[in-house]
Amino acid sequence: MRSAFRTVPPLLLSCLLLAGCSSVSLGTSTPSETQSPPTGAPAGSGRAIAVGAGPQKHYTVQKQPPARSCHYRYLNAEPLEDPTCTPGAISPAVTQTNLASTICRKGGYTSGVRPSTYVTGKEKKLNAASYGFTGRMADAEYDHLISLQLGGDPNDYRNLWVEPADPGHRKGSGVNNAKDPVETKLHTAVCKGTVTLAAAQQAIATDWTTALNTLHLS
């Protein structure tokens, strides 16, 4: 009678004969080898934007990135955020279908969702340490990367950064940033239906200095 072991592959036969061998890799993939990219990874031409907690009745001071772990970028001397520390975050309370009752309603939306200066003042100091900012705090804006008027999350640390003053800014003259009119133009375009909310959010989160050109609004 022919031994059954003769039909068994040599590798498997050796394993069966050795004490303590419990499994053999046959080259098949496992679930861990086919996992999807993590949330927030690039998807197509734009990266996914995180969704924050949205407006709160009572805001608390948010933990910021470690000191000096964030680094400014500059384009034509204009300051840009560190995309790792400040990738942007949107509010779940603002959607394309409810624009008329949120960011586009008359009477103002932003004042009702903006955190108090008691909260943002503390966060600003912590975030300045994150970015290693050593300039005059009064000349720097604690800025929502995706502005509140574009449905940015009000108090998610991923959507807030200490934005230095523009080049040529006179020291001690207060906050004056070229990003602000960009936000206003995008808000107007969204409320007129010229661009979608998602497109405006993506453009300003990617690079506020090129957002208007990207959307053909300049």
pLDDT per residue as tens, the chain (218 positions)? 444 434 444 443 343 333 443 333 323 322 222 222 223 333 234 679 999 999 999 999 999 999 999 999 998 889 999 999 999 999 999 999 999 999 999 888 999 999 999 999 999 999 999 999 999 999 999 999 999 999 999 999 999 999 998 877 667 656 678 999 999 999 999 999 999 999 999 999 999 999 999 999 98
What does pTM read for this prediction? 0.78
Q: Taking Cα atoms as reference points, which of 159, 212, 210 lies closest to residue 185?
A: 212
The residues pairing with 73 across neighbouring beta strands, listed in sequence order, are 80
> What's the pLDDT score for residue 64?
98
Cβ partners under 8 Å of residue 134, min gap 6? none
> What's the pLDDT score for residue 169?
64
> What's the pLDDT score for residue 167?
79
The residues pairing with 78 across neighbouring beta strands, listed in sequence order, are 75
Q: Please, what is the Cα angle at 167 between 162 and 173, to 5 degrees?
A: 70
| Under 8 Å between Cβ of 162 and 152 | no
Report the C-alpha gap between 69 and 85 in whole angstroms.
8
Cβ partners under 8 Å of residue 216, min gap 6? none
